[in-house]
Each structure stands twice: as structure tokens, then as C-alpha cells.
Amino acid sequence: EARQAIYHPGTTMGSITNGWSLPGRIFGNRERMQGLYLIRASAAHMGLYGNDLEEAYYPSCFFDGDGEPLDASKHNYVISFSKEELPPVDPKGFWSITMYDENQFMVDNPLNRYSIGDRSDLKYAEDGSLILYLQHDSPGADKESNWLPAPDGKFTMTLRIYIPAPEGLDPLYCPPVVRKTPAE
């Protein structure tokens, strides 16, 4: 029973919103984690020696806005950030999104691009908003700067925010929903 609870903790580790798994305070010092044995065991199983939320926050996306698993063999996707929805990061930190195939391996692609983030050469709209293209084939030369290549199949993504701004931790920041793009 303990192994089942550790390996499949459900929402014990955080919450799920808009297809994103939002981990809560699952790592910390002895004082902070005192008595939280199921969380500590599940967190150790998931990623031993993880960072405190103040150091790094890792939401992961498994589903699109329709609640379906992400699958680039069937759909193209976008994630659209308004200027106010961009990942909240301290000026000393940064954010990135990494793409994984269904086996949690990085995805070979023609750009040799495995993550994209605020240190990438992105094209923002005049109002400061940002659209990222998540698909197997190129969205076109004019959009490739904002393309994170996906496998020709199922995939997941992890957003990493290193040194998140305090307003991103209370309440926990939830990235915008990943949406299918309309057929052209």
C-alpha cells in the first residue's frame, strides 16, 4: 500500500490545472518537511534532491485544453502568453520549456532545439505577448524562432522557472492552456 501511495501520489504532490501538473512544496529543509512523510517519499521517488520552490518551479504539461493527451501526430498546438501571463521570473533567473517524447526522452529535430525560453531568440508581439508553436513540422520560416519541435506522436513538456518571482509562488503560477491549432 505504501509503494502504491508513493508511486501514484495523485494530488498529494500538488494540483492539476488546464492540463498542467503544478507541484507544490515537495522539497525543503528538515524543518519545512517535518511530518510530511508521503510527500517526502513521493518526491524522492520522482526526483531525489529537488530544489525548493524559491529556487526552481517545474510545472509539466500532459494534456491540451480539451483534456486530451498531447499528440503531434494528430494535431499542431500553440501556447499563447499575454504579457501578463509570461512565466514570473526574478531578473536573476530564467525560464524554459523542454519537450519530451512519450518515453521522457528529448526529441530529435532538424533545429537541434530541445527547449525554448526567455534566453532564446523569440519573436514577441508588439503588445509583449508571445506565441510558441508546438508541432512536428515547421510552422513556417517566419515562425521558426518560436517553434519547439515535437515528435511525430505523443509528448509532454516541462516548464522550468529558475528563481521564480514571489508572485509566481503564492498562488502557484499556472501556465496558459495548450491549444490545438485550427486545421489550415
**Number of structural domains, the chain?**
1
Which pLDDT tens digit goes with each residue over 59-113?
Answer: 999 999 999 999 999 999 999 999 999 999 999 999 999 999 999 999 899 999 9
For residue 27, being part of any structural domain is answered with no
Say if 160 falls within a structural domain. yes
Q: Does 7 map to a domain?
A: no
Residue 18 domain-assigned (yes or no) = no
Q: Read off the pLDDT band of 167 (50, 70, 90).
A: very high
Per-residue pLDDT at 184? 52
- The pLDDT value recorded for residue 34 is 86
**pLDDT at residue 67, as a whole number:** 95
Q: What is the Cβ-side half-sphere exposure of residue 143, based on CA atoms within 13 angstroms? A: 14
Closest CA to 135 of 159, 117, 109: 109
Residue 25 resides in a domain: no
> Which residues lie across from 134 on neighbouring strands?
77, 148
In the chain, the percentage of residues whose pLDDT exceeds 90 is 68
Q: How far apart are CA 32 and CA 46, in angstroms?
A: 19
Model pLDDT for residues 8-40, shown as the tens digit of each residue: 777 776 788 999 988 777 777 888 788 888 878
Look over the chain and give the mean of its residue pLDDT values, rounded to a whole number.
Answer: 91
Please check whether residue 30 lies inside any domain of the structure.
Answer: no
Domain that holds residue 107: 53-180
CATH label of the domain that carries residue 110: 2.60.120.1600
Among residues 95, 43, 102, 41, which one has the least CA distance to residue 70? 102
Whether residue 87 has a cis bond before it, omega within 30° of 0: no
Interval 145-153 mean pLDDT:
97
Tell me which residue of 156, 15, 177 sits closest to 85, measured CA to CA. Answer: 177
In a domain, 152, yes or no: yes
Phi, psi of 32 (to 5 degrees): -65, -35
Q: Does residue 144 lie within any of the structural domains?
A: yes
All three cell numbers of 23, joined, read 507541484
